[in-house]
Amino acid sequence: MKKKLVSVLLCTAMVTGLLAGCGGGSDDKGGSSDGGKETITMWCPPLDDNMLENWEPLLEDFKEENNCEIDIQIQPWENYEEKWSTGAASGELPDIGYMYAEMFPTYIDSGAVADMSEYITDEDREEYLYLDHGYMMDGQYGFPIVTGVPFVLYYNEDILNSLGEQPPETWEDFARICEKATQDTDGDGKVDQYGYAVGFNNGSMNMLYLLNAYFYSLLWQAGTDIYNDDYKTVKFNDEAGVEAAEFFYSLKDYMPENMMSLAAEDAFSTIFGQGKAAFGVTRSSAIQETLFAESYPDLNWNYVTSLKNKDYGTFGATDCLTLSSQAENPELCMKLIKYITGSEFMTEYHKIASGAPLTKSEQYQGDPKMERIVTEDRDKYRPLQVGPCGSDILQNLASELQGMMEGSKSPQEAMDDAAQYANQALDEYWADKE
């Protein structure tokens, strides 16, 4: 009898626990008070290996000055978008969030993020170097926090010297050197040195990385872009877009034969990094010299920020902080956003984790070799056009390009099919708006 009673009680306790676990807790949401203090919640991917510990001391002054707590929740890069989607679905978004370009349209459309224009002063416009990169879809929805680290074209100086070549400036230079560099160096009948270390299969990594690394640059250098000015159709299948696709395809013979099964970063580290390719592309870092010295001690490298065809252009992401439209104290949140992106905070933070200066007052602290990216080459990189259905359109474009590189579609077919898909998605989007 007692046993039964205990069992029933235990079951009841389990049910209660289950229900309690399922119940929504209003305390989880930002803006709650902690002993009279306001709490600002912030979601961020890991910007360095030890971000919370690195940021904590830098935020102390702000917390004290404004009598508030800051709850920073680090979400892994791999599931960052999923976290936002599920957070949005359950109405649990933070006061401040970190977003990259492809994420913005959906959240701007839904009104989840606020236009920060009214909080931007003339001094801000003067001080912040990349503020215009956060202006999109007719509003200041982003406040740049990570920028100035574009994807650049690295080259192996030893290979170029052995070929008697100078660093490439144009597409012609690049194609010529790639062709000359693709060789069987040990005479076993197999190519073991490649022109261009490309990996075009990103597995679990974001497919958009393929466009970031290899394709946007060609598109911009060819003189076109993703969307037309009215954002109602795309233009990447125009003459220039097809020229970009054809050029990329024409380089296939100079890429590793397993490029379709290699991830982009693996291609860089295992082929270019090991001195087996003349060129490789990866995202730059202000401390690239230091990092490469550790990872690839024998590599004699340098870089070209962007090639030129009709124009210069390479992808330089501008990741931003955003303000939630549900933030209970938007003024305080904006103050925090400006504090974090401001010179004082970033000067200290960039000593620990390298990065390009975001403001005029911040001094460059990276490796001298990389400095020209944020000085003389600053106009050679740009962020992505932020437009409707962005993620959908670009994911599909990446898949079509995979088909092209695999040989199942011609460049013209791949670009046309991608454009047809994109225009259909945009038609539906704008029809809904009307």
Partner 1 sequence: MKKRRKFLSTIAPYGYVMPISLILLTFVVGSVVISLIFSFTKYNLLLDPEFIQFDNYKRMLTDPKMHLAVINTLKVMVLVVPLQVVLSVLFSVLVASRKHTLIGKIAKAAIFIPVISSNAVVGTVWKTMLNARIPVLSDLLDLFGIDTAMLLGSSTTAIVTVSMIMVWKSFGYYMVLNLATLLSIPDSYYEAAKVDGGGTLQRFRYITLPLMKPAIIMDVFLSVVSSLQSFELIYTMTGGGPANSTMTMVFYAYNLTFKTGKAGYAMAVSNVLFLLVLAVMVLQKGFMKREASEI
Residue 136: CB minimum distance to partner 1, A: 17
Size of the site for partner 1 (CB under 8 A): 53
Binding residue (CB under 8 A) for partner 1 from 22, 27, 186, 368: 22
Residue 147: CB minimum distance to partner 1, A: 24
Nearer to partner 1 by Cβ, of 22 and 123: the residue is: 22
Binding residue (CB under 8 A) for partner 1 from 118, 192, 239, 257: 257
What type of residue sits at position 246? E
CA 203 to each of CA 50, 169, 284, 416: distance values in angstroms, whole numbers, following the listed order: 26, 32, 22, 25
Print the binding letters for residues 24-63 with partner 1: x by CB under 8 A, - otherwise: ----------------------------------------
Binding residue (CB under 8 A) for partner 1 from 104, 107, 214, 272: 107
CA 182 to each of CA 45, 277, 394: distance values in angstroms, whole numbers, following the listed order: 39, 8, 31
- For 155, the token pair is 């080259």
Chain centroid to Cα 364, Å, comes to 21
Q: 278-307: which residues touch partner 1 (CB under 8 A)?
A: none
Q: Does 217 bind partner 1 (CB under 8 A)?
A: no
Kind plus residue range of the DSSP H or E element containing 151: strand 151-156
Q: Does 1 bind partner 1 (CB under 8 A)?
A: yes
Q: 185-204: which residues touch partner 1 (CB under 8 A)?
A: 200-204
Residue 419: CB minimum distance to partner 1, A: 15
Nearer to partner 1 by Cβ, of 266 and 377: the residue is: 266
What is the gyration radius of the CA atoms in the chain, in angstroms?
Answer: 25
Query: What count of other Cβ atoms lies within 10 Å of the Cβ of residue 63?
Result: 15
Q: Report the alpha-carbon distance of residue 67 to residue 115 in Å, rounded.
A: 25
Nearer to partner 1 by Cβ, of 123 and 433: the residue is: 433
Q: Does 110 bind partner 1 (CB under 8 A)?
A: yes
Q: Does 266 bind partner 1 (CB under 8 A)?
A: yes
- For 287, the token pair is 């401390």
Residue 431: CB minimum distance to partner 1, A: 12
Q: Does 408 bind partner 1 (CB under 8 A)?
A: yes
Q: Is 244 in contact with 215 (CB distance < 8 Å)?
A: yes
Binding residue (CB under 8 A) for partner 1 from 275, 403, 410, 416: 403
Q: Report the alpha-carbon distance of residue 33 to residue 48 in Å, rounded.
A: 29
Residue 142: CB minimum distance to partner 1, A: 17
What type of residue sits at position 27? D
Residue 260: CB minimum distance to partner 1, A: 3
Q: Which residues pair with 128 in a beta bridge?
A: 359
Nearer to partner 1 by Cβ, of 263 and 346: the residue is: 263
Residue 20: CB minimum distance to partner 1, A: 12
Q: What are phi and psi of 240, to 5 degrees?
A: -70, -40
Binding residue (CB under 8 A) for partner 1 from 32, 73, 85, 325: 85
CA 45 to each of CA 85, 115, 250, 285: distance values in angstroms, whole numbers, following the listed order: 15, 22, 37, 17
Q: Report the alpha-carbon distance of residue 115 to residue 322 in Å, rounded.
A: 9
Q: Report the alpha-carbon distance of residue 220 to residue 381 in Å, rounded.
A: 9
CA 25 to each of CA 29, 37, 68, 113: distance values in angstroms, whole numbers, following the listed order: 8, 19, 21, 23
Q: Where does this chain bind partner 1 (CB under 8 A)? A: 1, 4-5, 7-8, 11-12, 14-15, 18-19, 22, 81-82, 85-86, 88-89, 106-107, 109-110, 112, 200-205, 207, 256-263, 266, 270, 389, 391-392, 395, 399-400, 402-403, 405-406, 408-409, 432
